[in-house]
Chains A and B, each alone.
Chain A
Amino acid sequence: MRLVVALCAACLLAGCGVPQERADQAEDVHAVAAEGALLAHEAAEGSLETFTAEHAQALQGLLRELQPAIEDERLSRRAAAVDAALGRLVEDPGDRRQAYTVERRLRELAG
């Protein structure tokens, strides 16, 4: 039993929790884009800048874990676009007009 737990722990730590199926990967990219859109919307309304930047960065982190495993070209480009859009929130979380544009872009990408 302990061996099983140890194997599982090693597996989890190695990141084999990253989905390999295209459908699951698309879901994950969608989830990040949708959440990014919400975050951008709040930033456009005026939010805590540090929170916006930090959370956008964390969302980018999720994407970057996923990206190496994506084989489908279109999905890969979409993920990169989401990453880039989030990057604008990280760089300038206080720019409300930009946040509004980022929100529209992320809503498009979320599909």
Chain B
Amino acid sequence: MKTIFSIALGILAAIGGFVDIGDIVFNVAAGATFGFELLWAVLIGVGGIITYAEMCGRVATVSGAAVFDAVRERFGFSVGLVALVAGQIVNLMTLAAEVGGVALVLELLSGLSYRVLVLLAVVALAIVLWTMPFGWIERVFGYGGLCLLVFAVAAIKLNPDWGAVAHGFVPSTGSGNGWVYAYYVVGLIGAAMIPYEVYFYSSGAVEEQWGPEDLGLNRANAVIGYSLGGLLSFALMISAGALLLPEGISAELLGTVALVADVPLGQIGLLLALIGILFAVSGAAVDSAFSGAYNVAQFFGWEWGKYRHNAGAPRFTLAWVVMLVLSFAIVITGIDPIMVTELSVVASVVALPLTYVPILLVANDRAYMGEYANGRLGNLFGVLYLLVVLVIALAAIPLLLLSNMGQG
């Protein structure tokens, strides 16, 4: 009974923790531009994160090696360092996007000045990271993010053409500008497979001190948690498609996202949407700050982990402090957080192969993983997604330019 309960709690936290500012921006914009036509891209992305995260979790559980341990062991120092630098640039961009997103939501809720809220957000995040135990962090932000389920209710209330919705899960070339469509495909898959998710997930397995008996938990968390989390992405796109597209409204503002829940459900929908966005994006900020620290500590072999306490892993602690300070410097310039979000997703797509490949290699290594190495199904998905990851990595920057950053 206790195990089922803790599995359920873990899944709930995974659902709420799935969505970040990148998912919000891309799913709502895709809905406003193409209606339900891109649901299949989100489905592919969800399959990708499940495959990737499950492998990372298994590797970390069996060997105690998180992502960048594996990267250095398989690629060696030089190539590994290139992967680290690329990964850190992406983490920092993601963190900046999330911090900007938090400030935007707080602005909508409080009316205070954006720049003041950026400072407030960074200080609040620092306090949370410094004082909260790992388990609490996951749960608080994960459960708060569940408020985003309001978008599932909104989607139903908006009464979309469910036939067209079902059709959207079948890959197609879509109507309208082909380059923009392709850009969104890449962006949606990229937003679902955003790297900090796996860095955090694999390090989390070690933080929670999972052993081989927890491999079932790993699989449940990854498969069920991320599938249901994917439902939130679908809900965002469906409700945006049902409301914004017919009205000819474009989605460039975070307030527009909240409006999508406001219109069908009134004030309570608006409030739940804003709170859900706040927790989901704050949680993502915490996760990406930690991910930056996990990566550099794992690469250089420093002690790491919240379970070691701040002074017990001092270089790791200083690393996330530096991440927060740098992200503050980026966001306080007043750069448009929505644009930072889009660029961070594109950058993460380009860097994705650098961390995906070593994990796939390690997960397959029988000498390392013993009986827990990838089976045939695991490898089918693993290799399939390797192809997906390589294709979108190559296509990302050309599409960014050809589609004029999704504007056409």
Contact = CB atoms under 8 A, between A and B. Distances in A.
Interface stretch (A52-60, A69-77, A81-89, A97-105): A52-60
Interface string B396-408: 0100110011010
Instruction: Please indicate which of the listed interface residues A9, A28, A35, A51 has the most CB atoms of chain B within 10 Å of its own CB.
Output: A51
Contacts of A9: 343
A34 B339 CA distance: 23
Candidate in A5, A28, A46 with the most chain B CB atoms within 10 angstroms: A5
A42 B270 contact: yes
* Interface size range on B against A: 20 to 34
A31 interface: yes
Interface stretch (B149-157, B251-259, B319-327): B251-259
A15 to B, nearest CB: 10
Given A39-B259, A51-B274, A30 B266 contact: no
A9 B108 CA distance: 28
A10 interface: no
A51 B253 contact: no
Given A47-B267, A51-B274, A31 B248 contact: yes
B259 A42 contact: yes
B278 to A, nearest CB: 13
Sorting the interface of chain A by its residue count into under 10, 10 to 19, 20 to 34 or 35 or more gives 20 to 34
Interface in B81-133: 107-111
A31 B262 contact: no
Interface of A is mostly: helix
Contacts of B270: 42, 47-48, 51
Contact of B258 (A5, A34, A51): A51
B247 A34 contact: yes
A35 B267 contact: no
Interface string B131-152: 0000000000000000000000
Given A4-B397, A19-B407, 18 more contacts: A8-B400, A27-B248, A35-B249, A38-B263, A39-B259, A41-B263, A42-B259, A42-B270, A45-B266, A47-B262, A47-B267, A48-B271, A50-B111, A51-B108, A53-B111, A55-B108, A55-B255, A59-B255
Interface of B: 107-111, 247-250, 252-253, 255-256, 258-259, 262-263, 266-267, 270-271, 274, 335, 339, 343, 397, 400-401, 404-405, 407
26 contacts: A1-B397, A5-B397, A8-B400, A12-B405, A17-B405, A17-B407, A27-B248, A31-B248, A31-B250, A34-B247, A34-B248, A35-B249, A38-B259, A38-B263, A45-B267, A47-B262, A47-B266, A47-B270, A48-B267, A50-B108, A50-B110, A51-B258, A51-B274, A54-B255, A55-B256, A55-B259
